[in-house]
Copies of this chain bind each other. A is one copy, B any other.
Amino acid sequence: MAEMDELEAARKILSVNEKHARDNGRLLAEHGVFCLNLVSSPGSGKTTILTRTIEQTRGCVRAGVIEGDIATDIDAERIRATAVPVVQINTHGACHLSAAQVGEALEKLPLDELDAVFIENVGNLVCPAAFELGEAAKVAILSVAEGHDKVAKYPAVFARAKVLLINKIDLLGPAVDFDVGFVRRSASRLNRSIQTFVVSAKTGEGVDRWCRWIEERVKESKAG
């Protein structure tokens, strides 16, 4: 297969995806629902951040969740324990969620009764960056155990995210050498408007500010 054919195929896939993403964005706007797309490596703590965020914003933010996984519904089960509506998407091998899949999932959520939808993408720091889902913002998550060179090495997701969550700061110490300031500066150089929160989803440290940020965005979405 010629290289141009491959490029053309990729271009068409992205263009179809963008059409679905626009449809999703329109549907969410009609319902005044704020939507975040959480992107990170496997094991950086997306699900723990979600359960913590749902608990801490309960009463202010009526949340729904779309869980993307290659296989299993382990994460969806963890979300279900928080008693918010959750829809599982299994990609069966695919490395990212598509806007069409998210569109089908949105139809299964009670959007009229929600203020925010959190989409947990497949754990992958590369491919999800290229696929818009109709979200208001991408949230990139980096755990301190992954090392502070990751913004430079995997730039696309950090360039396109509105928020960077540096997670697992409870692990900082002699065993984990991670320079939070360096990551903040790398991310800001790449993406001047990125907003960084430094948190431990496990202990709750720093999560308050991140939850306030969501509550403000939800108010703006309602005001429309």
A-side residues, CB < 8 A to B, are: 1, 5-6, 9, 12-13, 16, 41-44, 69-72, 74-75, 93, 95, 122-127, 130, 143, 145-147, 149-150, 152-156, 168, 170-171, 175-176
Contact = CB atoms under 8 A, between A and B. Distances in A.
A74 B148 CA distance: 12
Contact of A171 (B75, B124, B145, B153): B145
Nearest to A168: B145
A42 B12 contact: no
A156 B123 contact: no
A155 B71 contact: yes
Nearest to A94: B126
Nearest to A171: B175
Contacts of A13: 1, 6
Given A5-B9, A124-B126, 19 more contacts: A1-B12, A41-B43, A42-B147, A42-B150, A43-B146, A70-B126, A70-B156, A72-B153, A74-B149, A95-B124, A95-B126, A95-B127, A124-B125, A124-B127, A126-B127, A143-B145, A145-B146, A145-B171, A170-B175
